[in-house]
Amino acid sequence: MLTTLNPRIFFGCAVLLALVFTAVFAPWLAPHDPLTQDLLYGSLPPAWSVGGEPAYLFGTDTLGRDILSRLIFGAQPALIVAVAGAGLAAIIGVSLGLMAGFRGGWIDSSISRLVDVWMAFPAVLLSIVLVAILGAGLGSVVLAIAIIDWTRFCRVVRAETMQQAQLDYVVSARTIGFTGFQTLTREVLPNLWPLILTLFTLEMGIAIVVEAILSFVGLSVSSDMPTWGSLIRDGRLYVNQIPWLLGLPVLAIAITVLGLNALGDGLREALDPSVRV
Partner 1 sequence: MMIGPGATEQDIAQLKALYGFDQSLVMQFWLFLQSALSGDLGTSISLKREVTELIGERLPLTIELSMLAIALAVTLGGLAALLGTYARGSWPERMLDSLIGATIAIPDFLWALAGILLFGIVLAILPAFGLMNGELRFTPATGFYLTEALLTGRFDVLGSMMVHLLMPALSLALPLTAIIARVLKASLIEVMGQEFILLARTRGYSRWRVLLREALRNAAIPALTLTGVQFTFLVGGTVLIEKIFGLPGVGAMAIDAVTNRDLPLIQGVVLTFALIFIVVNLLVDLLNAALNPRLRGA
Residue 274 interacting with partner 1 (CB under 8 A): no
Residue 253 interacting with partner 1 (CB under 8 A): yes
CA distance 217 to 211: 10
Please give the C-alpha separations between residue 80 and each of 35, 85, 135, 148, in angstroms, as whole numbers.
19, 8, 18, 17
Q: How far is the CB of 120 from partner 1 (least distance, A)?
A: 6
Residue 20 interacting with partner 1 (CB under 8 A): no
DSSP 39: G
Residue 261 interacting with partner 1 (CB under 8 A): yes
| DSSP per-residue string spanning 171-228 | HHHHHHT--HHHIIIIIIHHHHHHHHHHHHHHHHHHHHHHHHHHHHHT-S--SS---H
Residue 94 interacting with partner 1 (CB under 8 A): no
Residue 132 interacting with partner 1 (CB under 8 A): yes
Residue 117 interacting with partner 1 (CB under 8 A): no
Q: How far is the CB of 253 from partner 1 (least distance, A)?
A: 6
Q: Helices marked H in 42-188 — which ranges?
A: 67-103, 105-120, 123-134, 138-165, 168-176, 180-182
Nearer to partner 1, 98 or 212 (CB): 212
**Residue ranges that bind partner 1, judged by CB under 8 A:** 120, 122-125, 128-129, 132, 205, 209, 212-213, 216-219, 232, 236, 239-240, 243, 246-247, 250, 253-254, 257-258, 261-262, 265, 277
